[in-house]
Amino acid sequence: MRAARELLGAAALVVGVAACGIPPTDVIERAAAPVIEVPPPSKTIYLLKDGELTMEPADVSSASVESLLRALFAASTQPLGKLDTALHGFVFDGIEDSLNPIQRDEVKLPRTSTLTVYVRGDGTLSKTAMAQIVCTAQQDTAIEGVKIVQKFGDRPPVTESGLTCGELR
């Protein structure tokens, strides 16, 4: 009797599955999987057009702040057509970043940083020249403030601290 009930239960299961009305098929792709598109990093520098700051494309392979600043200073030695720069006579001498993320529960927490930009050249950096440097650097949103250290041949360096693009524009 027990064997008959088991056989009857198995038969009912087979009939129930077969009778659901959905024929078995292989996997069918209907559309591509959803993906998130991240915009490319900015590859622009700040130059001058009619005396006003303007963002212009930079010919760099990397969107790192250092690459962008190198391109910004290199622009002062090239013909710019209708564009100009306030950095004539100044040379980019490197950067130093204070970004040092702390770790909590093995997760790095982002922190803002101060970027120090080293510049060589005689004369005084104008407010416009500093704006070009600071605004180009602050395209990286992790940089909260910029410090510019201008080095001279035989005199002590001059430092401008706490610079932001918004204040210099």
pLDDT, tens digit (0-9, with 9 covering 90-100), for 140-149 = 888 999 999 9
Residue with the larger pLDDT of the pair 122 and 86: 86
pLDDT single digits (tens) 112-141? 589 999 999 988 999 999 999 999 999 988
Do residues 7 and 98 touch, judged by C-beta distance below 8 A?
Answer: no
Residue 153 pLDDT level (bands cut at 50, 70, 90): confident
Residue 24 pLDDT greater than 90, yes or no: no
Output the CA–CA distances (angstroms, integers) from residue 18 to 11, 21, 108, in the order listed: 11, 7, 54
Q: Which of 146, 139, 128, 135 is nearest to 87 (CA)?
A: 128
Residue 90 pLDDT greater than 90, yes or no: yes
Residue 21 pLDDT greater than 60, yes or no: yes
Distance (Å, rounded) from C-alpha 79 to C-alpha 85?
A: 10
What is the pTM for the complete model shown? Answer: 0.70
